[in-house]
A and B are shown apart, each in its own frame.
Chain A
Amino acid sequence: MTDHYQSIADCNFSFFFTGLILLFYLVFYGFLAALFTFTMWVMLQTLSSDIPKYRDRISSPGLMISPKPDTALEFYFNKSDAQSYAEYVSTLRKFLESYDDSKQSQNINCTPGRIFDQNDVAVKKACRFNLSELGQCSGKEDKTFGYSKGTPCVLVKMNRIIGLKPEGEPRIQCTSKEEGMVEINYFPPDGLIDLMYFPYYGKSLHAHYLQPLVAVQLAINSNSTKEEIGIECKILGSPNLKNEDDRDKFLGRIAFKVEMTE
């Protein structure tokens, strides 16, 4: 009998110790969690909500296009089949919604060709970007952005980087590897990006900011259908915007492919 009681006591004893261990780890991890939270909080306190502390990892902007096919940067469509390019069109339309005049009511008209410095101003103004500048690619005249006519539009944009002030006269220039297959038109003309849209002051200060766009219209030669056309767009004319980084294929440039059928 005594043995029996003994074993019960032992049992209680070990429960007690197991409990103690659990309690210990509860306190220990609780403390670590609190410490983690606290240090993170302190760290976040040192950050400004307006501009990041460091911007050295994105010294130069990347280029991106819209619409952006899901898989890779490859456009496949049939100009006579609306369904085949419906997604591109809807993406473009959606993308350009924020550029609609109605959305740009508080945006101001800035002086073209000059950096729009607003350092001293508390509330940063956004410059107006007129959709009409995109000409045939604005979607106003041609609801299909040229896809139905075999002149598809692709919008090229430069990544937003806070405080970036391009020098010189930045412009987008696209080339096709295959000569004579495609004729490229730019809107605005020459693919110019106006300096007045720079610098960008960040999401919180520069709420209505719209990044400048360049529309590239690809007039695909009718005898070059069913062929993959490689297009590479680069940013040129600005000494501080890099476009030839070995490792970063999207720094100041972008390559994509288009294949149209009839």
Chain B
Amino acid sequence: MVKKSDVYSVELHGTKDIEKTEIEDEEKYKDLKGNKKKKKTEDLKKELELDDHKLSTSELEEKYSTSITNGLFSARAAEILARDGPNSLTPPKATSEIVKFLKQLVGGFSILLWIGATFSWISFGIQLAQGTESAFDNLYLGIVLALVVILTGIFAYYQEAKSTNIMASFSKMIPQQALVIRDAQKKELPAEQLVVGDIVEIKGGDRIPADIRLISAQGCKVDNSSLTGESEPQARSCDFTHDNPLETKNIAFYSTTCVEGTATGIVINTGDRTIIGRIASLALGVGNEKTPIAIEIEHFVYLVAGVAISVGVLFFIISISLRYKILDSIIFLIGIIVANVPEGLLATVTVSLSLTAKRMAKKNCLVKNLEAVETLGSTSIICSDKTGTLTQNRMTVAHLWFDNQIYSADTSEDQTTQPFDQSSPSWTALSKIVTLCNRAEFRPGQENVPIMKRVVVGDASETALLKFAEVILGDVMNIRAQNKKVAEIPFNSTNKFQLSIHETDDPNDKRFLLVMKGAPERILERCSTIMINGKEEPLDSEKAEAFQTAYMELGGMGERVLGFCHLYLPENEFPDTYTFDTDSMNFPTSNLCFVGLLSMIDPPRSTVPDAVSKCRSAGIKVIMVTGDHPITAKAIAKSVGIISATSETVEDIAKRLNIPVEQVNRREATAAVVNGMELKDMSLQQLDEILCNHSEIVFARTSPQQKLIIVEGCQRQGAVVAVTGDGVNDSPALKKADIGIAMGIAGSDAAKNAADMVLLDDNFASIVTGVEEGRLIFDNLKKTIAYTLTKNIAELCPFLIYIIASIPMPIGTITILFIDLGTDIIPSVALAYEKAESDIMNRRPRNKRRDRLVNQQLAVYSYLQIGVMQAVGAFVTYFTVYAEQGFFPSTLLGVRVKWENSNINDFEDSYGQQWTKYQRTFLQWNGYTAFFVSITIQQVADLIIRKTRRNSIFQQGLFRNKVIWVGIFSQIGIALVLTYGLGYVTALNFTPLRFQYWFVAVPFAILIWVYDEVRKLLIRRYPGSWWDKNMYY
């Protein structure tokens, strides 16, 4: 089900693209499956030459042994069903769960660890054969390493399964029904049970349940966008119009939609044999592009693995040339690998990403693919829909014109009052017309719902007027009840007005009130007077001019304008017994009194302008792509800041300078409004030029197909493109985009399937929140990785010095695993909770190629500076422990062979005391523990310094991120438990440690902090300097 999205997203233009897919496929499976795939494609091409469209109805009946009037017999249908299988696409051969799990077991660093484990077991075997006592240490180590891989594998698998489940819930669609004729009866059947030869009826709004050869059609149009990307509905009839089955009119394809009309047809292909089924099975091979963060993590894994392997091999060679035994050298190699691989990091990254995903979900961004969290952060262009995303998706009264003056109305989402001057008697008259000449009504039972949120029965404009009146006047329904309606002419497109006649609520006034609204010019034609400040004045040319100006002005703002007029019918001519007849129009409809204009617009969401300006300062270009009219699009673009107040389009400049458009220097215009019609005729270069030269672009009247072209254009500029969309037709663009954002409320399932993210509230501002979170997580992952990498050096140095200087082993391999997977895990996740350093939305989006997650500076600073400092601190503790027990540093050098010889049980220390092997080993474990504790203590300092990369810790606030403190306490807590609680479990190699040894490394921890503060200070003080370039990661 999940992969079904692929079906929608493949854009295909006949067979040509199928070939293209094949080439891609072939390249992907060059050696393994190339031949097979190729064959399949050839099969497809052959089968595509189906001739059903050329056959006559009777030939078809014969071919499928069916009857057009009676359909198949149920028994026959069951037979065919048994032969062909159900009419559904075989879900993409879902990678079996086992394979998925196994993939987790070999991905990333796992291979390195498996190598380590294998070496451990090999050396266990050899040592066991030799009868070495410590052989079992290697067995344990191998088991632990394998456990580590398996556990992290299970964890990653679980995480992936969880996010897959989220996706699966998106694609759960209601089982499709089809209207089938069988046994001469019409039946509703699940589409899955359709078989070849079935006669099905389809109507507007249905999804075509299988490939169908039409035998009758009435005004049938289908939307083939899921197949061809062409969004324009195409007419379908029963005529054979083209040799190519894909282009002939008498075949409708599975999974496309019937937009309007009805049709009857014979099912000619079902399930995987349908055109879309074949394409789907082909398209499966086309993998999704890797997300930026996936690329970054891969880069990082290569980097670390590279370091691990090269250091490992280097020291393997060194230890061989130092005449160590091969077996020993292999054991060293294991240690070096384990020390170098940040075992817990990938899990940490996953957790951090899912934490952010959760946080984003709270802010109405539902992320389907964990890695998309970060993609949003690197976005440099957002192609946004207008309706619903930038706007509230409901008409609202924006302006009023009466008494020769334009008033602005409040268009915000939660208006409760209207601020404009309501004292004029003209407004009283106008409000009455607005209230009465309106057929829209609130659904009952919504008294407690805020007015703007109530459900209304009525069209968009009337709804707007109703809500507007309700906000200002209060109970509209009551007012209507008091002004009883006696006659009404609803709006129609010939009249272009709507009229109603009411009794008045004034008991002394027995006159009827005629109210009318409609297209302003039509209304004006019917008026002879105009109301100014409550008085009727003759409508002279000057006043008509004023009307024209106001009308043009409101229209120019992209608003829909309505005119309002009224007439009190004279009591003598129209007594209260008078019967109005709307057909004969026995009442005046001219010489009315013009009262005013109201204009409506789908107003921008109030949060959008702020969000757009945030995008702008964040270096993200917001491009509006809408199917709407250019004027409206431009007006909304201006009001939300996509076109800023000061910038002009070419047309604006031409108008201002009063020169033809052609003479304007196009470079001067920062903004551009491009009409879909223009776009159609543009070459790719011209489009690139527009995308390049204008910073503020609006595409109006665009088709979804063009949306795809725009997205591709943006990607040619090297941008990371986010696209919002809701329709089925948007899915190619959504899929093509680096991050597709579907609308949660308005969005279709197909769009949601194709998207990487779903905006639950359809609100553009949520995207900006998402961008902010995405950037934050990128920064925080940097911090997490820097934190995690640092201690690798402190873990690695012991091995190197052990090999070179032959001192007793300073830290054990298992102890290292306890740091990587024990003390360090919670702190590194805690960094994901770090708040942004002030500048996060004021900098440009990161450059995919230049700004790496793990850059040279980060690696160098962590490995060669802080890491080395940690190693020094830990070694001081190590030497202190040994010296205070009787082994001076000088006696430790070169002592390895004797120290590890289990036959030497009277090993002399610097004071002349003699030690048994076990006493030495115990001291060695004590050293491990001390080394471990020192690294832990210094990692606390490392954690604190990693909170910021540029700002001082004191600017950031030491206590603002409480989770960091949870991390610190957990770190120390785990270390305490390991040291004192598990101190007597032999296999773990921990021993209780003297209390004061916890503090030996503290000065070094403080030094790390101070040094890093100095680093940051210099970076802030001297931006762009040598220091900044080399020390800022």
Residues A250 and B888 in contact, CB atoms below 8 Å apart:
no
The A37-81 residues at the B interface (CB cut-off 8 A) are 39-40, 43-44, 47, 50-55, 57-58, 61-64, 68, 71-73
Q: In the complex the two chains form, is B911's CB within 8 Å of A203's CB?
A: yes
- B884 proximal to A (CB < 8 A): yes
Set of chain A residues within 8 Å of B889, measured between Cβ atoms:
40, 44
Contact B914 A32 (CB under 8 A): no
Query: With contacts A36-B876, A47-B884 known, is A29 near B916, CB below 8 A?
Result: no
Question: Using a CB-CB cutoff of 8 Å, which residues 907-961 of chain B contact chain A?
Answer: 908-919, 922-923, 926
The SS class assigned to the B binding surface is helix
With contact pairs A39-B876, A43-B879, A57-B926 given, residues A160 and B885 touching in the complex (Cβ less than 8 Å): no
A53 touches B884 (CB 8 A): yes
Among B884, B906, B914, B919, point to the contact of A54 (Cβ < 8 A). B884
The answer to the question of B833 belonging to the interface, with a C-beta cut-off of 8 Å to chain A, is: no
Given contacts A32-B872, A43-B879, contact A247 B916 (CB under 8 A): no
Give which listed residue, B868, B888, B918, B1026, contacts A248 with CB less than 8 A: B918
Interface residues on B, range: 35 or more
Tell me the chain B residues, 486-540 only, with Cβ under 8 Å from chain A.
Answer: none
- How far is B843's CA from A81's CA once the two chains are assembled, in angstroms? 89
- Is B58 positioned at the interface, with any CB of A under 8 Å from its CB? no
Point out the residue from B865, B885, B911 that lies within 8 Å of A57, measured CB to CB.
B885
Q: Is B875 in contact with A36, judged by CB distance below 8 angstroms?
A: yes
A100 to B913 CA separation, bound complex (whole angstroms): 22
In the bound complex, how far is the Cα of B887 from the Cα of A58, in angstroms?
13
- Which residues of the partner chain B approach A20 to less than 8 Å between Cβ atoms? 1026
A162 at the interface (CB under 8 A from B): yes
Please name all residues of chain B whose beta carbon is closer than 8 Å to the beta carbon of A52 when the two chains form the complex. 884-886, 909-911, 913
Residue in B884, B911, B915 whose beta carbon sits within 8 Å of that of A162 in the complex? B911
| Those of A238-254 within 8 Å (CB) of chain B | 245, 247-251, 254
Q: How distant is the Cα of A47 from the Cα of B887 in the complex, in angstroms? A: 11
Asked if B923 and A35 make an inter-chain contact with CB atoms under 8 angstroms apart, the answer reads no
Task: Write out, one digit per residue, whether chain A residues 178-219 have a CB within 8 A of any chain B CB (1) or not (0).
Answer: 000000000000000000000010111010010000000000
Q: Which residues of B contact A159 (CB under 8 A)?
A: 905-906, 913-916
Given A44-B883, A54-B884, also A68-B903 (CB < 8 A): yes
Considering only residues 141-163 of chain A, those with a C-beta below 8 Å from chain B are 157, 159-162
B918 contact set on A, CB distance < 8 A? 245, 247-251
Residues of chain B with a CB closer than 8 A to A162's CB:
911-913
Shortest distance in angstroms between A214's beta carbon and chain B's nearest beta carbon? Answer: 15
Question: In whole angstroms, what is the CA distance A157 to B916 when docked?
Answer: 12
A160/B913 contact (C-beta < 8 A), A54-B885, A62-B906 known: yes
A17 at the interface (CB under 8 A from B): yes
* A15 is an interface residue with CB less than 8 A from chain B: no
Determine how close the nearest CB of chain A comes to the CB of B311; give it in whole angstroms. 18
Least Cβ–Cβ distance between B871 and chain A, in angstroms: 9
Indicate whether B864 reaches chain A with its CB closer than 8 angstroms: yes
Interface string of A100-126 (1 = CB under 8 A from B): 000000000000000000000000000
Q: Which residue of chain B has the shortest Cβ distance to A247 in the bound complex?
A: B918
CB atoms of B880 and A43 under 8 A apart: yes
Tell me whether B1030 is interfacial, beta carbon within 8 Å: yes
Contact pick for A250, options B883, B905, B908, B1026, CB 8 Å: B905
Partner of B886, one of A43, A55, A204, A247: A55
Whether B905 contacts A254 by the Cβ 8 Å rule is yes
Nearest B residue to A252 via CB reads B916
Complex CA gap A248/B986 in Å reads 12
The answer to whether B917 touches A21, judged by C-beta atoms less than 8 angstroms apart, is no
- Asked if B869 is an interface residue, CB under 8 A from chain A, the answer is yes
Contact yes or no, B865 A28, CB < 8 A: yes
A181 to chain B, nearest CB (A): 24
- Nearest CB on A from B797, distance (A): 12
Partner of B913, one of A25, A55, A64, A204: A55
Residues of chain B whose beta carbon lies under 8 Å from any beta carbon of chain A: 864-865, 868-869, 872, 875-876, 879-880, 883-886, 888-889, 903, 905-906, 908-919, 922-923, 926, 986, 994, 1003, 1007, 1026, 1030
A-B interface, 8 closest residue pairs, ranked by CB to CB distance from nearest: A203-B912, A62-B916, A159-B914, A248-B918, A52-B886, A53-B884, A64-B906, A250-B905
Known: A245-B918, A248-B919, A251-B918. 12 other contacts (CB 8 A): A20-B1026, A32-B869, A52-B911, A53-B885, A54-B994, A58-B919, A159-B905, A160-B913, A161-B913, A200-B912, A202-B912, A248-B918
